[in-house]
Structure 1
Amino acid sequence: MGSPLLRRSELATPATSDRMISKGAGSAADLVFLDLEDAVAPALRDEARGKAIKALNDHDWGATVRAVRINGIDTKWAYADIVEVVEGARDNLDTIIVPKASDARDIWWVDVLLTQIEERIGLRKQIRLEALIETAEGVAHAERIATASPRLDAVIFGAGDLSVSQEARVDTNFQPREPYPGDFWYYARMQVLTAARVAGIAAIDAPYPDFEDPEGYERDARAAASLGFNGKWAIHPSQIEIANRVFQPTTAEVERARRQLDAYRTAEAAGHGATSVDGQLVDAAHAKLAERVLAHHAAASGK
């Protein structure tokens, strides 16, 4: 991946809630998505499109990426979600999140429809995509999904619907009801993360429904960040600050990365392939890691 995409926090907001939309627009989230799917009662899903369009057009979103999560493409709402919101919001919509992506064909369908709409209405920019991988089929086909379209900026791991698809015995926080050694979702997380790295796009970790447990959210976020995830879903504004802090390098990490890179470049100029900093080896792999740390720091600092 080139310059890191800033996706430390992605805030979910029901498209039917004016109060939550206002909070989202004024938040520090890197991306806010107006949800037309699970957060909206089926009877209100047609009405929710108009509310999403109004919110996208009327609010000042600042540097926050403006997104909508459409309904699954196998539902009666998906086509109208895309057509009406894109035509209504036009340049005020940045990204569409595609839920329950099961294979490359799902992303291809949205891509083709978006291309036709953009050409017909003369949209000046290209709408971006993110794919939610949250079914057993989607996990199995994660790489095909992640590489399905140049519009894709990120893939998101979703534990909720995957719990249903997998027939997992979990609690309302998607954690196993019985003692389990290690991360219950490790395999699925790594499938999504690996697919993102193959495609050169961002990987976003699952939501943590218990928003009154900030310590648990931070623990989950730190584990995902250690694996290499770029950010985490937030279901409540209180989780944004935690995600933004966890998924960017600390001051100590940035200073160490600078010292390692400076030392390596000095050694390289002298014809050496490795050196040491603070009694630890620094070779080409360490230099690349240091470059990534500094790139992530620069992306976060520039927001």
Structure 2
Amino acid sequence: MRHLRRRAALVAPGSDEHKARKALAGTADEVILDLEDAVVAAQKDTARALVSDLVRAHGRARPVSLRVNGPGTEWFAADLRACAALGEALTSVVIPKVESPATLTDADALLTGAGAPVLPVQALIETPAGVAAIDEIAAGPRLTAVIIGYADLGAVLGRSRTAPPDRWLFVQDRVLHAARAAGVQAVDGPHLGIADDAEFRQAARWAADLGFDGKWVVHPAQIATAQDSFTPTPAQAEHARRVLSTLAAAAARGAGAARLDGRMLDEAVAVAARRTLAMSGAQDEH
């Protein structure tokens, strides 16, 4: 399954037209217009109408997703109906605070009933219950990505907002393993600062080294660093091409093994090479 590149997914408030338009005109791989945390209760309906208009105007030109209000809120069903009405202009629906596969099943039913049979969803994992059920959630209907929500999860756990990335390793590994087993993307949640500073760069590099596909960012200044962190270098991409070409040539000769630069190649190396090319935006022809 070929996924959208989500190296840098920029979150913009759905109630602020200026910031939303600025995000849509920027360079993020995906723009996520937020109807949940960024919108007060009195503005939910107005924000829903605003982001619907923005998606219709911009969604076919660039990837745009909507973060809806959470399951159990009075706005959940209306948000999903609005998403369904946007059709192919919308890239996906981001569902917050997913704690069980039942939430995705409910969302699937609402979207199907509203006429959106192919609209993908992403699941935000923001509670201990969500982490505990991540294997089942990752296999849920329509799911294309899971994202860690550090702010809500950290608040429930009592974890310091300044905790370094390695303090989150258990959660990150749980989410990453479940995502890979289910064949969906694993996206690192937003850093809790808005600057492109040393802490943000460390967090982005840490997530990339672990194997995540990308990261949410909350300020345009962070986009370039995130994209750079999750993009292989030209040398890495070229090596991946050589690996696949060498393996293809060996297979054509009927050889059971191949060697490149003094190292044996096998299917595990090929898997890593294909991922490198996918992350670099190259097409894998092998």
Match of 1:68 in 2: 66
Query: Does the CA-based 8 Å contact 2:277-2:283 persist in structure 1?
Result: no
**8 Å contact kept, 1:273–1:284:** no
| Cα distance in structure 1, aligned partners of 2:228 and 2:283 | 10
1:251 equivalent in structure 2 = 234
Give the SS at the match of 2:112. helix
- 1:61, distance to aligned residue in structure 2 (A): 4.4
Deviations 1:4-63 (A, max 9, x none): 4311111101001111111111112121111011111222223211111122223x3464
Partner in structure 1 of residue 275 of structure 2: 292
Q: Offset at 1:299? A: 4.8
Structure 2: which 5+ runs fail to align?
Answer: none
Question: TM-score, structure 1 length as denominator?
Answer: 0.86
Question: 1:270 Cα deviation (Å)?
Answer: 5.8
Does the 8 Å contact 2:8/2:30 carry over to 1? yes
The match for 2:174 among 167, 179, 191 is 191
**Structure 2 equivalent of residue 231 of structure 1:** 214
The whole-number CA distance in structure 1 between the counterparts of 2:283 and 2:189 is 21
Give the whole-Å Cα distance in 1 for the aligned partners of 2:87 and 2:275: 34
Q: Partner amino acid for 2:98?
A: A
AA aligned to 1:295 is A
Contact 1:52-1:85 at 8 Å conserved across structures: no
- Structure-1 separation of matches of 2:60 and 2:89: 11
> TM-score when scaled to structure 2?
0.91
2:129 is the alignment partner of 1:113: no
Is the Cα contact below 8 Å between 1:10 and 1:30 reproduced in 2? Answer: yes
Shift of 1:262: 2.9
Please say if 1:102 is aligned against 2:99: yes
Residue 259 (structure 2) pairs with residue 271 (structure 1): no
8 Å CA contact 1:5–1:202 kept in 2: the answer is no
2:26 maps to what in 1? 27
Contact 1:4/1:296 (8 A) holds in 2: no
Q: Kindly indicate whether the alpha-carbon contact (under 8 Å) linking 1:6 and 1:300 is maintained by their aligned counterparts in 2.
A: no
Aligned AA for 1:157? I
2:203 matched to 1:220? Answer: yes
Match of 1:158 among 149, 154, 159: 149
* Counterpart Cα distance in 1 of 2:90 and 2:260: 48
Q: Which amino acid aligns with 2:265?
A: V
* Larger mean Cα displacement after TM superposition, 227-236 or 38-47: 38-47
Residue number in structure 2 paired with 1:144: 136
Q: In 2, distance between residues paired with 1:22 and 1:145?
A: 32
State which of 72, 76, 92 in structure 2 corresponds to 1:78: 76
Partner amino acid, structure 1, of 2:238? E
**CA deviation profile, 1:163-194 (whole Å, cap 9, x unmatched):** 122232x12xxx32xxx7x7011111111111
Q: Which has the higher contact order (CA 8 A, sep 6+)?
A: 1
Instruction: Say if 1:12 and 1:32, in contact at 8 Å, map to a contact too.
Output: yes
Is contact 2:92-2:120 (8 Å) kept?
yes
Give the length in aligned residue pairs.
283
Task: Name the CA distance, whole Å, in 1 between partners of 2:88 and 2:248.
Answer: 43
| SS of 2:122 mapped into structure 1 | strand
The change in CA–CA distance for 1:298 and 1:47 in structure 2 (over 3 A counts) is closer
CA contact (8 A) 1:132 1:157 kept: yes
Q: Any idea what the Cα deviations from partners look like across 1:190-210, whole Å, max 9, x if unmatched?
A: 111111111101110010121
- Aligned partners of 2:37, 2:89: CA distance in 1, in Å? 23
Quote the RMSD (CA, aligned, Å): 2.2
CA distance in 1, matches of 2:84, 2:268: 43
Q: Does 1:42 align with 2:41?
A: yes
Alpha-carbon distance, 1:255 to partner: 1.4
C-alpha distance in structure 2 between counterparts of 1:192 and 1:95, whole Å:
20
Partner of 1:13: helix, strand, or coil?
strand
CA gap of 1:288–1:91, structure 2 versus 1, over 3 A, is closer
Asked if structure 2 preserves the Cα contact closer than 8 Å seen for 1:5 and 1:299, the reply is no
Which residue of the partner structure matches residue 8 of structure 2? Answer: 9
What is the deviation of 1:218? 2.2
For 1:239 and 1:162, the matched residues in 2 are separated by: 22
Matched to 2:48, the amino acid is: R
